[in-house]
A and B are shown apart, each in its own frame.
Chain A
Amino acid sequence: MSEQDNPRREFLRKTLTLIPVVTVASTGLGGSVLMATPAAAAPAAPEPAGRTSSPAAPYEPTYFTAEEWAFLNAAVARLIPADEQGPGALEAGVPEYIDRQMHTPYASGALWFMQGPFNADAAPEMGWQSKLVPKQIYRLGIAATEALCKKVYNSTFAGLDSATRDDVLKQLEAGTPQFENVPAKMFFSFLLQNTKEGFFCDPIHGGNKGMVGWTMIGFPGARADFMDWVERNEQYPFPAVSIRGERA
């Protein structure tokens, strides 16, 4: 390392030593408060005290239409439901996360090699071979699923009870419905993958609000400093922190 990098290393060390101090003040508290909150009544985005943010104005989607938004909310609430384990995908802000992702290069397929010719019927072990990109997959997949619900149940997806919604999602997962423009299984796999991303990502991306996903499984987030814990067969005691410095 060259000389000029030393001040930075010094700065890093100082920053790191601050974290445990913060930790002591908040040990256990955030986590237990969250877990004690009845899941269904959990606020959409509990903000830690002392941070400035606008009061919980509902998120307005900018990619999804109102009808698509209703589907998305109703679907993710079943994929990761609020239950005795704690808050679910809705409370974690997963729909907001997915809507925001639709404006990233990922959703346009810009991270993938998308030159033809395409062979959409290739065996699964050949990996991704479709010309569809996530934005289209959501648009086409939601429309096809809504058409199915209309035909079979004469209802929107969001209008179905939980058990029936689960049943529709299981059909998508198994690839049973033969949709014309998008394989049901492909649509479901994006929906599930992005839902898990939104439940477990850093809150900076719009999901995992209040770090509810991390708290549920015991992931400490951006702490990233475990020198003293490597060899210990015991539960790590400190709650999660986020990139922005929020504490669970």
Chain B
Amino acid sequence: MSPILLIEQILNGLQFGVMLFLMAAGLTLIFGVMGLINLAHGSLYMIGAFAAAAVAGWSGSFLLALAAALAAAAAAGVLVEILVIRRLYRRDHLDQVLATFALILIFSEGTRWLFGSFPLYLDVPEALSGPVTLPGGIRYPLYRLVIIAIGLAVAAGLFWLIARTRIGIRIRAGENDREMIAALGVDISRLYTLVFALGAALAGLAGALVGALQSVQVGMGEPVLILALVVIVIGGIGSIRGALVGALLVGLTDKLGGFLLPLLFRGFMEPAAATSAGAALASMLIYILMAGVLIFRPTGLFGAGT
């Protein structure tokens, strides 16, 4: 095992983790402020990716595509919040799970209806394509580094937004006491729509950024959604800091596990058996991590005790 390969996997893990954070941040905000568990978050991610691919195909500009992804996902978020989600805040989690599962069905099949079953492709912009050489002689795709940078910048921006701005104060106040801030004259239902749109836009951004790495297709959102749920559960639902730590933990565990476990198993097994056993265990690793965290800390690493 060479250190270069290991560092490459660490960078892959970071990139994956940052991506998960963009999804998880929205989910955890929505849960923290509104108490809503939103399974349709993966659909917003898919909408972002499709909007980006469609606009990039039409205009050829990646920046325009990103803007379209943000706008489309936020608009879909606002629409869904006003039509459906608003009715669910006071319902129990079972109703929320079911209604948002229904939204997944509607969004997925609706997208298939509009765009067909064949995947779309979104190209990495030319200025960002190709590898760069990092200190130490490691060559790594520039685009993935940019994703890491964007993700960390968004994380910093979110912390600033929540901790330092008036909107952030209202969001935190809404988390603590809904009636009190309504009594102080804040339009709570507008605040909720805003938070939902913010979460949706982040999911759309994640979809567009990842869309350039993989194919854009119906059903792309659900695997990411489940991982993002794992992230917020590990981090503690409602905590942005927990989402960041959880996302990086899950990203690194997944990439490093897939790389290291087969090597580890090779120490005492035949190579073929080691590869398949290692891969099998690696694919389960993050769920084992999550189960482990929940067993020892039933409300996640940064979750408030219930």
Q: Do A and B bind each other?
A: no
Interface on A for B, CB 8 Å cutoff?
Answer: none
Binding site for A on B (CB under 8 A): none
